Chain A
Amino acid sequence: MAGSTLEIKDLHVEIEGKEILKGVNLTINGGEFHAVMGPNGTGKSTLASAIMGHPKYEVTKGSVLLDGEDVLEMEVDERAQAGLFLAMQYPSEISGVTNSDFLRSSINSRREEGDEIPLMQFIKKMDENLDYLEIDKDMAQRYLNDGFSGGEKKRNEILQLMMLEPAIAILDEIDSGLDIDALKVVSKGINKMRKDDFGCLIITHYQRLLNYITPDQVHVMMQGRIVKSGGPELAQRLEAEGYEWIKEELGIEDETVGQ
């Protein structure tokens, strides 16, 4: 069997009593890259956070299944151990914890006690990935995201992705705030992950990331739902024409959720 399957069914999510997602349906299989696009304020990041279990988001209806297992019943760490990964839009800064210690703890959390990753193997893998992402080796010993620039944080998210090798990754606006060179490097890292047993959900509101990462499917989100799906050509049309034509086609006046 190639890879895992993440099924999102009729997902409704509230934040502080306000409904943001109003019935999202989406299935991601191993080997597939999906892009979720849409203007700001349509619920894209809420989708990412709700799947991972962000403490502020409350799922009121629907289900999320990973290979048939109920993800919503799992604690955040269990979701990660089951194979999910979220590259966050705003990664936390954690002073006093080195990147390297953090990554080793993360890797070992997926392994049995007594079967921790050997230190040399870890260092080798870390060095390879740092090189691949053109990150200075010093970053391994710096405190986790502490004082990192926006671009460094994004690269660090992709470094974690490459180190942890999840079954399904969600990338929440991994391209925001990146210059073109950084965007290329980050894309290179993501593309390296592409294989039959890896599925990816890319959230973005710019098409430009998709110039470097070709999605198998593109979904447009408005008003807390996926309103249109298509192939890579849909992203290109959005780049050329914007979102207005979709709103007209579907009779949507305000694409955002609430105010």
Chain B
Amino acid sequence: MAVDTKLPYEEQYISEYSQKRNEPEWFRNIRLNAFRQSEDLPMAKANKTRIIDWNFTNFKHDVAGEPIQSYDTLPEQIRVLLGDESEAENKNLIIVRNNDVAYANLSQDLKDNGVIFEDIFTALNEHGDLVQKYFMTDGVAVDENKLTARHAALLNSGIFLYVPKNVVIKDPVQVVFWQEDDEAAVFNHVLLVAEENSEVTYVENYYSANANKESVANLVSEVFAHANAKVSYGGVDNFAAGTTTYVNRRGVADRDAQIEWALGQMNDGNTISENTTHLKGDNSICNAKSVSVGRGKQKQNFTARIVNWGKDSDGYILQHGVMKDQSSSIFDGIGKIEHGATRANAEQESRVLMLDEGARGDANPILLIDEDDVTAGHAASVGRVDPLQLYYLMSRGISQQEAERLVIHGFLDPVVREIPIETVQKQLKAVIEGKVN
């Protein structure tokens, strides 16, 4: 095996990096323990996907980013995520450029209500207790696998979003992660805590343009929706072909809480994506919706999992993927109902459309049920474009390329139109358009 699987870093580097970021000791210790564990832990699991030759070790870890001087200096691909200038100025928005915050805005109104929206290094100093309570404790564990441990050890970016009890935030809170440097890695951690009866919509965008240079994205999000809270979490991942991505988005919902995932998994590079939600509380709800377009030679592995613990909890997974060129993807949908989750419901639907001869897709619906009084269902399909559909469209004068474009949009639209966040819908349409042409 030609690929080096060991990190080219030493404990001393991690310690120094932590000091440079001015971190509290407890956090430095998490890093160092994670680093020691990472060597022996098994690799992240990617069912039916050969990841042995993927790049997880070649990247630049510490790359500074300049503050953003004006809207006009942003590349088009970032501006499309923000809307026009006046729209962008009014947003509760953080832009992370390489590994530094380059722009940050939070409305006075939200500040007055106690909302915290800041980078994780600031949060470690200003709200250390809160971060310590939630960081890789009840969500994603450091020692789940080699990549979660590396994440904790090398974390170089992060967002802390805290919504106090009874606070309802109407407009989306957005973060753009812009990997301007083609080799800059992002070990980004999103910690989102929604206290009782609160509501928030969070939207994140990852963007890089490194088609030819290698890098790594290792992303962990932990979302805690406390009793009767509602969290809408939208994400559009758009790393270029050079980035190998591991992304683990995890939710925990308490009693009567609701977590809505709306994910556009639009990377051009190899990707392992896991999205798991634990419906801990009675009556909690999760909708996990995602769309994906694969192209080139990329390989991707997607797991969407909802675990029902609470009585009357309700989980629904919906994922649609289009595979072009020689891309291949595995879509695992896992509905798990634990013993005692009476009257729980686990539904899922996964559909894959393969456009080209060399494209491959696989949808695996999995239901694991340890309780009698439940309802569950699954639908899965993997198919190729129907040549008669293309013939029909072309018989009206539409070119083959345009016909394929319509079929792809059409295949993804039932998911896109169900996404509860309008900004994400718009962004997704734009990104899909870019990938289809």
Contact = CB atoms under 8 A, between A and B. Distances in A.
Nearest to A144: B410
A214 interface: no
Contacts of B411: 95-96
A109 B392 contact: no
Interface string A70-109: 0000011101110001101001101111000110011001
A132 interface: no
A143 B410 contact: yes
A75 B412 CA distance: 27
Given A94-B410, A96-B414, A97-B407, A80 B395 contact: yes
Given A80-B396, A110-B397, A97 B391 contact: no
Count class of interface residues, chain A: 20 to 34
B8 interface: no
B406 interface: yes
Interface stretch (B56-64, B191-199, B329-337, B381-389): B381-389
B318 to A, nearest CB: 14
Contacts of B403: 77
B204 to A, nearest CB: 26
Nearest to A55: B387
A86 B395 contact: yes
B413 interface: yes
Interface residues of B, number: 24
Interface secondary structure of B, over-half rule: helix
A61 to B, nearest CB: 22
A10 B213 CA distance: 59
B397 A55 contact: no
A106 B398 contact: yes
A75 B402 contact: no
B398 A105 contact: yes
A223 interface: no
Contacts of B392: 88, 91-92, 94
A76 B393 CA distance: 9
A80 B397 contact: yes
B398 A77 contact: yes
A97 B396 contact: no
B113 interface: no
Contacts of B407: 94, 96-97
A164 B394 contact: no
B283 to A, nearest CB: 33
A79 B394 CA distance: 9
Interface in A21-71: 52-55
A105 B407 CA distance: 13
Contacts of A102: 393, 396, 398, 406
A163 to B, nearest CB: 9
Given A105-B402, A109-B402, A55 B409 contact: no
Interface of B: 386-389, 391-400, 402-403, 406-407, 409-414
